[in-house]
Amino acid sequence: MDASFDFVYQSPIEKVWSALTNSTKLAKWIMANDFKPVVGHKFQFRTQPTEWWNGIIDCEVLEVDEPHKLSYTWVSGSESTTVTWTLKSVHGTTHLHLEQTGFSGKTQAFEGAKFGWVRMGDQLEKVLAEL
């Protein structure tokens, strides 16, 4: 499972890094949280609970490389993923790359699974269409 995005912001890299690592700022665009940019720090994102979900995402900071890379685990209900932010300064703008992957630490197994999933995607279309 992987979702990846690339965004370009007209702001300098330090501003974007701050928005990703300052708890008050994070709350404005992701969710209320007790994040700290410290490796090993366990924190939560919290939002309104629903019928099927308590609205809590459990996280642990994995990597902090200011201002270029930040990653943490993201565990919500039964899904356990890793979120990685990569920042690059390009002529005063910031290129932000986000990757959310289905494993934390099991890179080899995941690469296999990712390939399998992509390859199977088109072949299983007729099966999935019947669901």
Partner 1 sequence: MRLNEKSQVRDVYDAVADPTRRQLLRLLADAEELPLHKLTDRFPMGRTAISKHLTILKEAGLVTDRKVGRETVYRLDASPLKEIEDWVSYYRRFWREKLVLLGHLLQEEDK
Interface residues toward partner 1, by CB under 8 A: 1-3, 5, 7, 9-11, 15-16, 19, 25, 28-30, 52, 77, 79, 81, 96, 98, 100, 102-103, 109-110, 112-113, 115-117, 119-120, 123-124, 127-128, 131
The DSSP bridge pattern shows strands 2-9 and 69-76 to be: unpaired
| C-beta closer to partner 1: residue 40 or 126 | 126
Q: Which tokens is 127 given?
A: 């099966």
Distances 33 to 30, 92, 94 between C-alpha atoms, Å: 9, 29, 24
What is the helix, strand, coil percentage profile of the chain, to 5? 30, 40, 30
Closest approach of Cβ 55 to partner 1, in Å?
13
Q: Which residue lies nearer to partner 1 by CB, 63 or 116?
A: 116
**Closest CB to partner 1 among 9 and 34?**
9
Residue found by looking up tokens 């996280």 in the block: 59
Closer residue to partner 1 in complex, CB, 1/38: 1
Closest approach, Cβ 92 to partner 1, in A, equals 12
Distance, CA of 109 to CA of 44 (rounded, Å): 27
Q: What is the CA radius of gyration of the chain?
A: 17
To partner 1, the closest distance from the beta carbon of 129 in angstroms equals 10
